[in-house]
Structure 1
Amino acid sequence: MTHMPSMEPGPEQDKPVTSNGEAGRRPGTIVAAAVLMIPVCVTWFVAGIAWVVVTSRMEGDGMFFYWILAVAILAVCLLVAYISVAGAMEVWRGTSARMRIPAGFTVGLFFIALINLLVNRRITFSPTQLTPLVVGAVAGVAIFLTHTKSATAWFRVNQGSGRQGRG
């Protein structure tokens, strides 16, 4: 019987590295930014699935074109959800701040939804109107948190250390 090596991270991968080589703590702003991206990711995933469900319940002529649109929207939603998770993991590890890309896309849609509601004078507190506003605001807060001094120091220290392990 052969001995299987443990897949657990070693002690050098468990703790972030500071500029002087000592083990450092992950800033609270990084923890908050990564955690705030979870509802953003879930919302994008659910939006893609919901669009396909709505398309499947449609009737009428030209359904082929609606299905092409549904598959394209599903692909975009799943891509943004994946990039959100991957970006949050990179922020957590301190390797990059790429989480700002899907968060910025979400904030952009937040502003489009807000402008649409203001122009049409249809601001009501229904879930379909509140969800993009709340998720956009959460993504905006996550972007803000990655621009704080402690977060930029976290990225600078961990990008320079060459760490590729789990954080």
Structure 2
Amino acid sequence: MSLREILHWPDPRLAEICDAVPEIGAHIAALVADMFETMYDANGRGLAAPQVGELVRVFVMDAGWKEGTKTPIAMINPQILTSSDDSVEIEEGCLSIPDFPLTVRRPARVKMLWQDLQGAPHQAWLDGAEARIAQHEHAHLLGRVIFDEFAPEEAGRLQARYLERRT
């Protein structure tokens, strides 16, 4: 395992749509191990492969570790099958947009389908922090960051504010 560099917006790789993983082998297992190590080291709850420069449909998450209960999940080729009609608005951060949390509205629950490291399919309804993290990381696989959750004018304003803070 090794720490990976986390790309920061506006790196163009963060806007790329990721490719499906055709075969889960040693490379993906190593990537997942590195991503967990990198996520925990960066004090995050989720990390998507494009955030470490790998344009494949993989993300890792752990909704409970900051409260003392590790619940690591690696999702390979994840899909959001459906989401609840009710939504919640919560502040969320992004390791690729550090120190710039934004309040984002997302569905309260999502039904996910994914493969694990052995290639076995899983399907589950996620809610609470797990739903929030899964949606955030899944968006990265589609080339979206939290700025993309806002109307274009508001997104532009937020991007400019973020870039001002970085200089």
Smaller-chain TM-score bracket: under 0.3
TM-score, normalised relative to structure 2: 0.24
More strand by share: 2
More helix by share: 1
Q: TM-score, normalised by structure 1?
A: 0.24
- Name the structure, 1 or 2, with higher relative contact order (CA <8 Å, separation 6+): 1
Larger radius of gyration: 1
